[in-house]
Amino acid sequence: VLDAEGLNSTDRSTNTDVKLFALSLLLSSFFIYNSRGHITESSIEDLSLVINLTQHIHVKKTENESGVDFHKHFPALFWVLRDFSLDLQGKTSREYFEENLRPQASVKEETLKKNAIRQTIAGFFQERDCFTLVRPVHDESKIAHIEDLQYEDLRPEFRKSCDQVVQRILSRVRVKTVNGIPLTASMFMGLALEYIQSLNDHEAPTILTALERVLLDEARRHKEKIFEDFATKIGEKIPNTQLPMEEQDLMNIIEQTKLEVSGELIRKLYDLSLIHI
C-alpha cells in the first residue's frame, strides 16, 4: 500500500505532486483516488495532473510521448467520493462516474480544457469504477474530532458502505503485472528503484527501459542462483568419502547435475521472456 498523501498540498509544489502521482501510477495495480462531495467541474479540474503525465512518464525512449499506450501499463482507477449526498435516482455509482466523463457540449476554452481532462482519464484508465460514501455522522460538531469516536458510533449506512467498499477493493486488487505476468518482489523493487532514480535525476521514467534493466538483472540473479545450486548438488553427490574417483564417474555426475539445474534455469528465463518489451 502506497499513500501519496493527497494532491494540492500547501507544503509541496505542483511538480512534486505530479511526480508522486506518476510514481503511484507506475507502481500500483489498483489506484484509489478519493475526494469529497459529488463530481463537479472543480473536482474534474483537480485531476488535471493527468494531462501533465506525458511530460513525466515515457513508455519508450522518445522525444514526444503521446500517452496512447499508457492504459497498458496503468492500474485500475477507483474513485471514492466521501460525504456524498446526491440522489443518483437509480443510477449506479459507476454509471454516475461514466456520465461525468462524457465531454460537455461547449466551445468555451474552460470547457474544452476540462473535456481534455475527461478524455485523458477515460483513455489512460480503461478499467475504472466509482464508489460513494455518505457523511459518517450527522452531528457537525463531531466531524472535527471524528478520530475519537468508536466505529459503532458512526452512521449505520456509512458503516455498511465502508464494509462494501473494502470488499470491492479486496476482490479486485491484484499483484502488479506486466503484460499479464506477475512481478516477483525483487522485480517490483527493481522497477521502483529505477523509477525513483529517474525522478530524482529530473528525468521522465521510461517504462520499457526500466523494465529491460530489471529483467536483465533478474536473469543474472537466476543464473547466479543456478550456479550455487549446481555447486551444492555436486557436493551432495560426491562426498569426501568417495574421493578420489574415476574421471568418467565424475563427468557422469557433472553431466547429470547440469541437466537437473539447466532445466530450472531455462524455465525461469522462459518466464522472463514472456514479459515482452
- Report the helix count and the strand count for the chain, using DSSP H and E: 10, 5
Q: What is the pLDDT of residue 64?
A: 76
pLDDT grade for 8, boundaries at 50, 70 and 90: low
CA angle (172, 120, 58) in 5-degree steps: 85
Q: What is the pLDDT of residue 84?
A: 93
Q: What is the pLDDT of residue 43?
A: 85
pLDDT grade for 156, boundaries at 50, 70 and 90: very high
Q: Is the pLDDT of residue 7 over 80?
A: no
Q: What is the pLDDT of residue 144?
A: 84
Cell numbers given for 174: 491484484
Q: What are the DSSP E strand ranges found in the chain?
A: 30-36, 76-82, 128-132, 177-178, 181-182
Residue that is written with C-alpha cell 457537525 in the block: 140
Cell numbers given for 140: 457537525
Q: Is the pLDDT of residue 153 over 80?
A: yes
pLDDT grade for 134, boundaries at 50, 70 and 90: very high
* Average per-residue pLDDT for the chain: 85
Q: What are the DSSP E strand ranges found in 122-232?
A: 128-132, 177-178, 181-182
Q: What percent of the chain has pLDDT over 70?
A: 93
Q: Is the pLDDT of residue 199 over 70?
A: yes
Pairing of strands 30-36, 76-82: parallel
**Cα gap 39→25, rounded to integer Å:** 21
What's the pTM value of the predicted model, to 2 decimals?
0.78
Tell me the pLDDT tens digit for each residue of 210-237: 888 888 888 888 888 888 888 888 888 8
Q: What is the pLDDT of residue 142?
A: 87
pLDDT grade for 96, boundaries at 50, 70 and 90: very high
What are the φ and ψ backbone dihedral angles of 129, each rounded to 5 degrees?
A: -155, 170
Q: What is the pLDDT of residue 79?
A: 94
Pairing of strands 181-182, 177-178: antiparallel
Task: Specify the range with the lowest mean pLDDT, choosing from 32-46, 77-91, 119-133.
Answer: 32-46
> What's the longest Cα–Cα distance across the chain?
89
Residue among 118, 133, 129, 122 nearest 41 (CA): 118
Residue that is written with C-alpha cell 543464473 in the block: 223
Tell me the pLDDT tens digit for each residue of 18-66: 888 889 999 999 999 989 999 988 888 888 777 778 888 888 887 777 7
Q: Which residue has the higher pLDDT, 55 or 179?
A: 55
Compute the average pLDDT of residues 80-101.
Answer: 93
C-beta contacts of 82-89 below 8 A and 24+ residues apart: 82/34, 82/35, 82/36, 82/37, 82/133, 83/36, 83/37, 83/133, 83/134, 83/135, 84/37, 84/38, 84/132, 84/133, 84/134, 85/37, 85/38, 85/134, 85/135, 86/38, 88/132
What are the φ and ψ backbone dihedral angles of 184, each rounded to 5 degrees?
A: -75, 170
- What's the one-letter identity of residue 22? A
Q: What is the pLDDT of residue 97?
A: 95
Compute the average pLDDT of residues 181-203.
Answer: 89
Q: Is the pLDDT of residue 101 over 90?
A: yes
